[in-house]
């Protein structure tokens, strides 16, 4: 929105009655509690849905009671902080709250923040940390059962996978895939193992809930169909494509895998170059060899792509292999909203895109009990002391999952090996720290209280406690750096030895001494502040400006020649 449009929107909201369930005003002059903020996001999203509004609004910097006055707010007083808040909200809410828009308006009476909160999707109430909130007038509280069911009952989602395929018969199913499916069903359902061999194909497929009353469903053709029968699923594209790229991003090889997809996962696994790596080659705990990727995690990730693909979009599932990672992508939004919220909730999501297909894959032992597979993936990576899976949900039409095939930060790995008391949410948060991904204030406070991390919010690294315990003190110093007086002494020593020097030479000298964890911009800012302080305190003098300025120790300005 343009400033004029924002001002018009604010005027429109200010003119609303006092009790409006889908709009809330808060003074929030300096700050606001994250938990309460999340509850309001859930409530306003749900109320907007119930009132038929495209979005709800939470406005900071305005008094709540009429006559409302603009008082201004300094809450999250930078675009970086606001963008980090959007990520925090997305991690803890379901539905489309990844796309909350935060508008800043520079009003003459003070800064105003307008949170534009999308209405809950039809059939999908919006939750905060697994709980649903609503409003009664201006009162915030749990969404009542009647309203919860009203949202859930708004639309019955059509299950693409349960639809029968016109003209398809059991003859379109692959005999090898059927035989494998029987084996998998026996493994998943041991009490029925003795009976399975006595069932004909139609009975088995009905029992496994792959077919319906003997009719071939899209799920059956997808999982068990012959490759030549795949066009019967058109416009859906029943295909997995594996691509191998080198370190420069150039394609080196590729392969397509068509139905039966129950057999394709092992074929994809065989194509992936799952190399053996030596973990912690310079460590002090217990270096050992293992493969880049856990085969179970690869299968679970790929099978989740198959189960949750939006086949109506006509896209295919892609697996892109590089020397350092595997990237899996499938079409369709991530319906649970966020991975962290799903793990914390530890329960199946409310809505499935292909519920019939997902249940069939559970019965055929392709995926874990519905809802538990993702959490197990994270735990498997933790057991291997490898980076956590990265879920990229920024594209509303796609889910991307990256598996990293090497140790990113040896200190993080040593921490997992040395501290068995970490919760899974702590491990996920520490994984973000090693990947230089911002964590929310609450999580950062928790990690600091346990002395697991140090550093400022945007430059957090492994703590000295862990560094000492694992004999990585040198690495710790490289990340943390030394105190300011040490760098001042370095500058003085340099000028005493080399005399008047250009600023660009001094900058280069100091950049090599500053912590590796700092970005180039952060190093530049730190050096600039150091020189300004030393000049202000009468330690240094300079002649000229910019990188070409010549710096000397105070009292030695008589000779500013630079050799």
In order, the DSSP letters of 285-319 are S--EEEESS-HHHHHHHHHHHHHH--GGG---EEE
pLDDT of residue 281: 47
Residues 86, 117 contacting (CB under 8 angstroms): no
Q: How far apart are alpha carbons 249 and 48 in whole angstroms?
A: 45
Q: Strand 23-26 relative to strand 55-60: parallel, antiparallel, unpaired?
A: parallel
pLDDT at 460: 64
pLDDT tens, residue by residue, 221-239:
999 999 999 999 998 999 9
pLDDT band, very low/low/confident/very high, at 351 (cuts 50, 70, 90): low
**Closest Cα to residue 96, out of 72, 70, 68, 116?**
116
pLDDT grade for 174, boundaries at 50, 70 and 90:
very high
Parallel/antiparallel/unpaired status of strands 251-257 and 240-245: antiparallel
Cα(261)–Cα(210) distance, integer angstroms? 13
> Considering only 245-249, 444-448, 525-529, which range has the smallest mean pLDDT?
444-448
Q: Which tokens go with 472?
A: 């990585």
| 3 state DSSP class of 488 | helix
Dist. CA 379–CA 416, nearest whole Å: 12
Per-residue pLDDT, 458: 58
Of 125-139, 278-292, 306-320, 407-421, which range is least confident? 278-292
Listed range (192-206, 344-358, 457-471) with the worst mean pLDDT: 457-471
> Are 84 and 440 in contact, with CB atoms under 8 Å apart?
yes
**Mean local confidence (pLDDT), 72-82:** 91
Ranges 15-24, 95-104, 458-467, 537-546: which has the least confidence: 458-467
pLDDT (0 to 100) of residue 432: 80
- How many C-beta neighbours within 10 Å does residue 317 have? 22
Q: In this predicted structure, which of 95-104, 333-342, 466-475 has the lowest mean pLDDT?
A: 466-475
- Which positions ≥6 away from 369 have C-beta within 8 Å? 362
Place of tokens 């603009």: 70
Q: Is the pLDDT of residue 468 over 60?
A: no
The lowest-confidence range among 49-58, 357-366, 483-492 is 483-492
Please tell me the predicted confidence (pLDDT) of residue 488.
Answer: 86
Fold of 3-152: 3.30.950
Q: Is 3.30.565.60 the CATH number for 240-404?
A: yes
Least confident of 23-32, 131-140, 546-555: 546-555
DSSP state of 209: T
CATH 3.40.190.290 describes domain 484-553:
no
Helical packing angle, 484-498 and 520-536, nearest 10° = 70
DSSP letters of 104-151? EEEETTEEEEEEEEEPPBTTB--EETTEEEEEETTEEEEPPHHHHHHH
The mean pLDDT value for 16-40 works out to: 88
Largest CA distance in the chain: 103
Q: What is the pLDDT of residue 472?
A: 47
Strands 325-331 vs 398-404: parallel, antiparallel or unpaired = antiparallel
Res. 525 pLDDT band, cuts 50 70 90: confident
Residue 46 has what pLDDT?
92
pLDDT recorded at residue 139: 83
| Residue 12: count of CB within 10 angstroms of its CB | 11
- How many residues are given for the chain? 563
* Residue 32 or 396, more confident: 32
State the angle between helix axes of 424-434 and 410-418 in degrees (0 to 180), rounded to the nearest 10: 160
Band of pLDDT at residue 518, cut at 50, 70 and 90: low
* Residue 147 preceded by cis peptide, ω within 30: no
Listed by start position, the domains of the chain span 3-152, 160-233, 240-404, 410-480, 484-553
* pLDDT bucket at 40, cuts 50 / 70 / 90: very high
Range with the poorest average pLDDT among 12-16, 110-114, 424-428, 492-496: 424-428
Q: What is the Cα 333 distance to its own chain's centre?
A: 13
Burial of 553 from C-beta contacts in 10 A (0-12 / 13-18 / 19+):
middle
Is the alpha carbon torsion for 362, 365, 369, 370 positive or negative?
negative
Which H or E run includes 183? helix 175-188
b/e map 223-252, b = 16+ CB within 10 Å: bbbbeebbebbeebbbbbbbbbbeeeeeee
Asked whether the predicted pLDDT for residue 57 surpasses 90, the reply is yes
In terms of pLDDT, which residue wins out, 120 or 179?
179
Mean pLDDT of 373-402: 87
Residue 422, pLDDT > 80, answer no
Question: What share of the chain in percent tops pLDDT 70?
Answer: 84
Question: Distance between CA 171 and CA 216 in Å, rounded?
Answer: 10
Q: Collapsing DSSP states into helix, strand and coil, what is residue 211?
A: coil
Fold equal for 3-152 and 240-404: no
Cα torsion 125, 128, 132, 136: sign: negative
Q: In the 3-class helix/strand/coil scheme, how is 390-440 assigned residue by residue?
A: EEECCCCCEEEEEEECCCCCHHHHHHHHHCCCCCHHHHHHHHHHHCCCCCC
Segment 177-200 shows an average pLDDT of 93
pLDDT-derived band at 276 (thresholds 50, 70, 90) equals confident
Which residues pair with residue 520 across a beta bridge? none
Beta carbons within 8 Å of 214's beta carbon, 6+ residues apart: 170, 202, 205, 206
Provide the β-strand partners of residue 319. 242, 328
Q: Look up the pTM and report it.
A: 0.58
> 435, 447, 376: which is closest to 404 by C-alpha?
435
* Whether 327 contacts 319, CB under 8 Å: yes
418: confidence class by pLDDT, cuts 50, 70, 90: low
pLDDT band at 467 (very low <50, low <70, confident <90, very high): very low
Mean pLDDT of 438-460: 74
- Return the higher-pLDDT residue of 502 and 327: 327
Q: Look over the chain and give the mean of its residue pLDDT values, rounded to a whole number.
A: 83
CA pseudo-torsion sign 50, 96, 218, 220: negative
- Is the pLDDT at 338 greater than 80, yes or no? no
Q: What is the reported pLDDT for 84? A: 87
- The set of residues, in sequence order, having a beta carbon less than 8 Å from that of 93 and lying 6+ positions away, is 38, 41, 42, 126, 127, 128, 337, 338, 341
DSSP 70: B
pLDDT at 546: 66
Mean pLDDT confidence for 179-184: 96
95 pLDDT above the threshold of 70: no
- Which pairs from 280-287 meet CB under 8 Å and 24+ separation? 280/407, 280/410, 280/413, 280/414, 282/410, 283/410, 283/413, 283/414, 283/470, 284/470, 284/471, 285/414, 285/417, 285/418, 285/470, 286/417
Mean pLDDT of 384-413: 82
């Amino acid at each position: 929105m343009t400033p004029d449009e924002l001002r018009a929107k604010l005027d429109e909201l200010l003119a609303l009655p006092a009790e409006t369930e889908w709009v809330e005003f808060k003074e929030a002059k300096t700050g606001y509690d994250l938990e309460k903020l999340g509850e309001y996001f859930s409530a306003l999203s749900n109320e907007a849905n119930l009132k038929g509004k495209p979005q709800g609004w939470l406005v900071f910097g305005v008094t709540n009671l009429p006559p409302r006055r603009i008082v201004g707010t300094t809450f999250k007083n930078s675009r970086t902080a606001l963008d980090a808040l959007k990520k925090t909200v997305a991690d803890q809410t379901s539905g489309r709250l990844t796309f909350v828009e935060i508008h800043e308006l520079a009003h003459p009476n003070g800064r105003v923040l307008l949170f534009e909160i999308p209405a809950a999707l039809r059939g999908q109430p919006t939750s905060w940390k697994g709980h649903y909130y609503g409003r009664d007038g201006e009162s915030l509280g749990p969404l009542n059962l009647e309203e919860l069911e009203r949202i859930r009952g708004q639309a019955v989602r059509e299950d693409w996978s349960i639809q029968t395929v016109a003209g398809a018969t059991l003859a379109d199913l692959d005999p090898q895939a059927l035989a494998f499916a029987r084996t998998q069903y026996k493994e998943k359902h041991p009490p029925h193992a003795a009976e399975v061999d006595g069932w004909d194909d139609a009975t088995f497929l009905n029992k496994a809930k792959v077919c319906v009353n003997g009719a071939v469903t899209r799920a059956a053709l997808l999982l068990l169909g012959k490759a030549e029968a795949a066009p019967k699923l058109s416009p859906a594209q029943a295909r997995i494509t594996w691509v191998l790229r080198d370190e420069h991003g150039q394609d080196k090889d590729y392969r397509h895998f068509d139905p039966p997809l129950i057999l394709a996962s092992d074929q994809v696994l065989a194509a992936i170059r799952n190399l053996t790596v030596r973990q912690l080659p310079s460590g002090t705990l217990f270096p050992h060899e293992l493969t880049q990727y856990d085969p179970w995690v690869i299968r679970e990730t790929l099978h989740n792509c198959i189960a949750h693909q939006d086949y109506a979009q006509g896209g295919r599932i892609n697996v892109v292999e590089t020397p350092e990672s595997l990237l899996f992508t499938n079409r369709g939004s991530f319906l649970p909203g966020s991975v962290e919220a799903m793990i914390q909730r530890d329960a199946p999501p409310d809505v499935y895109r292909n519920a019939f297909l997902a249940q069939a894959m559970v019965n055929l032992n392709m995926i874990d009990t519905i809802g538990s597979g993702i959490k197990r993936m994270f735990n498997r990576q933790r057991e291997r002391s490898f980076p956590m899976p990265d879920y990229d949900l920024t594209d509303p039409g796609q889910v991307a999952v990256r598996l990293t095939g090497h140790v990113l930060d040896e200190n993080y790995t040593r921490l997992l090996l040395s501290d068995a008391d970490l919760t899974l949410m702590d491990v996920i948060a520490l994984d973000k720290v090693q990947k230089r991904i911002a964590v929310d204030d609450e999580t950062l406070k928790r990690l600091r209280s346990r002395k697991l991390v140090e550093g400022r919010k945007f430059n957090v690294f492994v703590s000295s406690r862990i560094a000492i315990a694992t004999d990585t003190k040198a690495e710790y110093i490289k990340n943390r750096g030394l105190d300011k007086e040490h760098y001042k002494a370095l500058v003085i020593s340099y000028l005493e030895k080399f005399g008047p020097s250009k600023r660009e030479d001094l900058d280069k000298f100091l950049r090599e001494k500053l912590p590796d964890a700092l970005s180039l911009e952060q190093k530049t800012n730190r050096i600039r502040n150091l020189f300004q302080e030393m000049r202000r305190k009468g330690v240094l003098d300079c002649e000229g400006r910019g990188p070409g300025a010549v710096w000397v120790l105070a009292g030695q300005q008589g000779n500013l020649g630079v050799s």
